[in-house]
Amino acid sequence: MIDRPSVSGGRAALPFLGAMAVLLLLTTSAIAQQGPAGAPPPDKSTPVEANELRETWNDRASQGPPVGAMPEFNGWSMGSAMPLARSEHAVAELNGKIWVLGGYPPGRLPSNLVQIYDPATSRWSLGPTLPHPIHHTHVAAVGGKLYMIGGELDGASTGKPEKFVADTWVHDPAVGGWVKRAPMPTARSGGGKAVIDGKIYVAGGRPPGGHAFEAYDPATDKWEKLPDLPTQRNHLAMVALNGKIIVAGGRTGPGAMAERVDAVEIYDPATRRWTKGTPLPAPRGGITGAVHAGCMFVFGGEGERSHVLGLTPNAYGYNPRADRWTRLPDLPIGVHGLKGSAVIGSRIFLPGGGITLGGNSGTNAMQVYRPTMRCE
């Protein structure tokens, strides 16, 4: 029998004045990075095909404070803000840098831009332009290369019907550009991804892939269908930990207020079977996950009716050995819509995210968490 969650730590949100101070500091920093008042931005913009989005990259906003330089409260601090705000974007770590792919700028017109953050220099730069504007895609790093899988085209504010894709693209930094590989069997967006032994696993998503579970082997360029995810869902948290896949939370349908789930399901590639874990302390959708020191971490989410903005700043840690969840200090800013996170050294990086329901308003804030929880 699986024990119910043991939740500790209490509510640890920043006090109101403290939170306002953090936001003011972030805003002041961003303004300072833009140069003297009235100075025009560089005449450098990147058009996005197939819609009316046009974004301007300002090099003066690409440099931020060094990692760890900002004040820390309950393990949380603010890092170097992204030059371009995002929600429903994909995040991955590749070669010690944080890659942010596609997503929505404020206004929900999908982007084909890639933003790259180098913690060593605390500087952002533009990466290789994506093959097309995309949101809700899945990104994973394997063997020094970056793989972008599935996602959603159009929809949102484009005036066109949403289109779910199965494309697999690979970027090799040593070569440049994007190369198309074998497509995923199930076209979908908003699922979860994780990597074990060089294979990329993708679970859930919509539609109709809420149960779909498939694995891609970059070495052979082949996909394999696996036993269905028991609880169909999208906008979930998914990680690889101790040789197993852990899927937590999510929601069962489209829309920010769709039914959220607390189900935790664990897949063992050795037995090809799913088992149940202790549920999340509360149902959560629009969440993201991370792994550090043998623990799984789950952050944020949307669809919270008790919150004035419909979001949640909650964070939880899961110990797979004890099958137990622990309440952690809240995020400084409640967000949703990060498809992934980046773990570098002792810190978890959460760039951007939606700050209103549905992703209409993304933030450029970089929230950084230094966990003390250990599960090894």
CATH of residue 142's domain is 2.120.10.80
- The answer to whether 243 and 211 are in contact (CB under 8 A) is no
Query: In angstroms, rounded to a whole number, what is the distance separating the alpha carbons of residues 295 and 322?
Result: 11
Structural domain count, the chain: 1
pLDDT score, position 16: 33
Residues 312 and 334: beta-carbon distance below 8 Å: yes
- 3 within some domain: no
Residue ranges in the chain modelled with pLDDT below 70: 1-53, 60, 308
Asked whether residue 59 is domain-assigned, the answer is: no
For residues 86 and 105, is the Cβ–Cβ distance under 8 A?
yes
Helices and strands (H, E) in the chain, number of each type: 1, 27
State the pLDDT at residue 42. Answer: 35
Residue 15 lies in a domain: no
Is 50 contained in some domain? no
Residue 52: what pLDDT? 54
Residue 55 lies in a domain: no
Q: How far is 139 from 133, CA to CA, in rounded Å?
A: 15
pTM (two decimals)? 0.86
Residue 75 lies in a domain: no
Inside any domain, residue 168: yes
Q: Is residue 123 a part of any domain in this protein?
A: yes
CB atoms within 10 A of CB 37: 6
Q: What is the pLDDT of residue 329?
A: 98
DSSP 8-state class, residue 175: T
Q: Print the domain residue range for 180.
A: 87-369
